[in-house]
Structure 1
């Protein structure tokens, strides 16, 4: 696997750290301590009175020779101040990586330092491992030992593995239902999990309103999240879920964000709630810091104040290059929706959902790839979706439909690069769908360049249903091949025959222990990325 699109010069990194310090108070030393690159004289024997590993462990962004590990110390995770009950001092966190579950053969040891500046999170980047191999890892602070996690390094760059098993998931509003889908995902024994956005939601949580779990929460949860302390607390609440913790411990995660990690439908530096840009960027800096603190991200993804570079390529040998996108941070906003001509603004050639730099990076990544598959890990629906009728078209501007020129440029890049196979993984919709990606959605004879495979939500939207009042509108678009509004996830097997997508759905999330079933399987045959063959119910 390669990890492209994130390198920068030492001078640029130094400037980024200074800016981050100015906006958040986090120092470069804290980052280096947290990744184990600059050990500090902190006593590893220093103990805590309670288990600090209440938020679990995780790994992410695998390379052929290593992986990033994560944990965050929080003896009392729902401490109202967002500090997890941790003292305001540094703690040494040791880690071990082994080839077996019993840790009888330990191949790597190290120490990272959990600092108050980064919410007592650590992100050690382990190197020197063998490609394409399963490893087990754990952390220790004093007498406390974390649960063990399982991860797998990526295949060697020149190898085309026989199979890659992975899943995609998105939209997990904690208060709207249980994360049982993750329990079933763990049983799938995956190589990797791609999370496509909305890991947390910023809305106030109130009993009798949106809180569907039978728990009592303090008033500190009944506010819209705006500050670093509030974001930290919201992540802590989310990560107390045992099924989510199990999924993080079962496989390496590759994460990106959408809007709710900051605020609903924000666009670039513009809030949809009419606060000033300065206020919003301060909020965004806090949100981005909390995102980094709570997820297995590498040091190259650390925030620079209200900015963080998440777009990157994660490679699995010669089998697949999976390009994780960021369709939220760099997008153009819209003028007032009451202004004249706003409907035509979506066709403005200067508009972009990715931003110029990311568009250029993606074009270059498609051209330079030597993998059999190029797959985009994308947040919002890319295919056109007309929710009106033949004479009354209706498009939603928050999706790629609001940036048609940007979509056209991506289509042109795919046509020019001619990857052997092209597919897009999408979240956000709270629905399972399959869509053909076309060069022109208004021409029934237009070429199909790939397939978009969208997963539903883990819990957002509560229970859902097999169909609903929107189904007819969706399916009136002839390139839309599937519609289901239940909760669940997408499980993939990628092999020499093609990309096989199992749509896994749950009958409910309002109660625990829901069973899972496979709604259907779509196969995108190798060499025919525009053809998705549907199998009967499994």
Structure 2
């Protein structure tokens, strides 16, 4: 009997120690996990710890927990704010995978669903899958010691819970995903602190753990307000962007920047850098994109066979009013892009952008059967501009949104008859406006 009691005590202590070990390792988790880009044969994940730690992801096809895989273990480092990326490279097309986070060889219990999906191999086999994704920009997380005095600029963080409840396959962050403050943008310490502070928002953790995330930047991720190519610390903010966002690539043709391109089902996404090469509109040959990126964009659009071609950029493209940082302030570059779309008969182009602290849909008919669209979604959690008076000539009637919101884009239908449904929602998930765009006739 004493032996049995001793054995029971040892087992009980072991269980308690294992449980407390898992709990103690959880304090090493700063933010994430975040699910990044998805392809047919690999998916990238991101995680951040509070100090240097060994991390890995263990994953398995949903419903097949006996057959597990794991990423290569990585040790997080202070130089990257203890953030790292992990590659799940033993996936097959069209599967949903569940996963676990392991820190210092201890499994971490998380209170939300941890899943990712690989893209479907549908080509030459079936219709493209129906899917939906969410877009949004201008995410301000209050931080009193560094914020301007007065009424807090950010709020309604429940918007991320509302987005999560709709189960989008991916979220596309349209810039101003963080807001660098005056105390931040002149040092690596400040820049990495701001990225860490924003990414650690509790309301965001469930969403990013099972929704694929892609991002571009705008001025507040890049540097001071309205910053252009002259910003002296742009290479630090570029490295921070690379360290915090699990995008598929950064820059094109060995040119630095955040530019990337990816496909998702039958759609292509062209994510642009509107900061690194930006020349002031007062300079000679002013430009937002720079000559090299501009040429790449036109060639990439020309070669795309996607149903919808989404051009993702920080500032509004179609808005006719020459205010703030609209592309209308750069008329020659804007005209060149539109002329190329018409001349090369590039159809199905839809610009996705933010920046303006209001939402709206714009449309411009290039010729008899080539309509270009611009879907603006802003802000997520920063303050909204409630007194919008500008007369955008291309605004779709009723589409102006003057409160915090996000936008869901749903693509459905058979080949040749695909439809894009655009729906704006408020911070609590209440529908504000809907609009339907038909696949163009090719």
- The correspondence for 1:504, drawn from 418, 425, 441, is 425
Q: Distance in 1 between matches of 2:217 and 2:425?
A: 22
Map 1:129-208 → 2, pairs under 5 A: 129-142=91-104, 143=106, 145=108, 147=110, 149-156=114-121, 158=123, 160-175=127-142, 176-203=154-181
User: 2:62 is matched with which residue?
Assistant: 100
- Aligned residue for 2:92, secondary structure, equals coil
Structure 1 residue 323 displacement after superposition: 1.1
Instruction: Provide the aligned length of Structure 1 versus Structure 2.
Output: 401
- Aligned residue for 1:261, secondary structure, equals helix
Q: Distance in 2 between matches of 1:423 and 1:528?
A: 15
Structure 1 residue 59 displacement after superposition: 1.7
Q: Distance in 1 between matches of 2:382 and 2:437?
A: 28
Q: Distance in 1 between matches of 2:47 and 2:328?
A: 38
Is 1:311 matched with 2:254?
Answer: no
Q: Distance in 1 between matches of 2:324 and 2:131?
A: 34
Map 1:440-519 → 2, pairs under 5 A: 449-461=371-383, 464=384, 468-471=386-389, 473-474=390-391, 477=393, 479-481=395-397, 482-496=399-413, 497-506=418-427, 515-519=428-432
Native 8 Å contact 2:223 2:237 kept in 1: no
Native 8 Å contact 1:327 1:353 kept in 2: yes
CA distances 1:311-346 after superposition (whole Å, capped 9, x unpaired)? 2221123x11111111121111233xxxxxxxxx7x
Native 8 Å contact 1:53 1:146 kept in 2: no
User: 1:366 is matched with which residue?
Assistant: 301
Native 8 Å contact 1:99 1:107 kept in 2: no
Inter-CA distance 528–499: structure 2 relative to 1 (3 Å threshold): farther
Q: Distance in 2 between matches of 1:101 and 1:432?
A: 41
Native 8 Å contact 1:157 1:316 kept in 2: no
Map 1:254-269 → 2, pairs under 5 A: 254-269=214-229
Consecutive unaligned residues of structure 2, counting only runs of 5 or more, are 1-20, 143-153
Q: Distance in 2 between matches of 1:169 and 1:494?
A: 17
Alignment RMSD (CA, Å): 3.0
Map 1:64-103 → 2, pairs under 5 A: 64-74=40-50, 86=51, 91-100=53-62, 103=65
CA distances 1:129-179 after superposition (whole Å, capped 9, x unpaired)? 122322223321223526363222223372642312101011101011132
Native 8 Å contact 2:216 2:271 kept in 1: yes
Inter-CA distance 415–157: structure 2 relative to 1 (3 Å threshold): farther
Q: Distance in 1 between matches of 2:205 and 2:404?
A: 19
Native 8 Å contact 2:94 2:117 kept in 1: yes
Structure 1 residue 353 displacement after superposition: 1.3
Map 1:267-346 → 2, pairs under 5 A: 267-271=227-231, 280=232, 283-298=233-248, 300-301=249-250, 308-317=256-265, 319-335=266-282
Q: Distance in 2 between matches of 1:431 and 1:101?
A: 43
Structure 1 residue 71 displacement after superposition: 0.4
Structure 1 residue 69 displacement after superposition: 0.9
- The correspondence for 2:320, drawn from 374, 385, 409, is 385
Native 8 Å contact 1:67 1:125 kept in 2: yes
Is 1:240 matched with 2:200?
Answer: yes
CA distances 1:256-275 after superposition (whole Å, capped 9, x unpaired)? 1011012234444224xxxx
Native 8 Å contact 1:97 1:138 kept in 2: yes
TM-score scaled by structure 1? 0.68
Consecutive unaligned residues of structure 1, counting only runs of 5 or more, are 1-44, 75-85, 205-222, 272-279, 336-344, 387-394, 440-444, 507-514, 530-538
Q: Distance in 2 between matches of 1:186 and 1:252?
A: 12
CA distances 1:342-370 after superposition (whole Å, capped 9, x unpaired)? xxx7xx7x332111111111111111112
CA distances 1:16-42 after superposition (whole Å, capped 9, x unpaired)? xxxxxxxxxxxxxxxxxxxxxxxxxxx
- Aligned residue for 2:203, secondary structure, equals helix
Q: Distance in 2 between matches of 1:68 and 1:377?
A: 21
Q: Distance in 1 between matches of 2:120 and 2:228?
A: 35
User: 2:3 is matched with which residue?
Assistant: none
Inter-CA distance 161–396: structure 2 relative to 1 (3 Å threshold): same
Map 1:43-62 → 2, pairs under 5 A: 51-62=27-38
Native 8 Å contact 1:96 1:110 kept in 2: no
Structure 1 residue 121 displacement after superposition: 1.6
Structure 1 residue 374 displacement after superposition: 1.0
Native 8 Å contact 2:222 2:275 kept in 1: no
TM-score scaled by structure 2? 0.82
User: 1:511 is matched with which residue?
Assistant: none
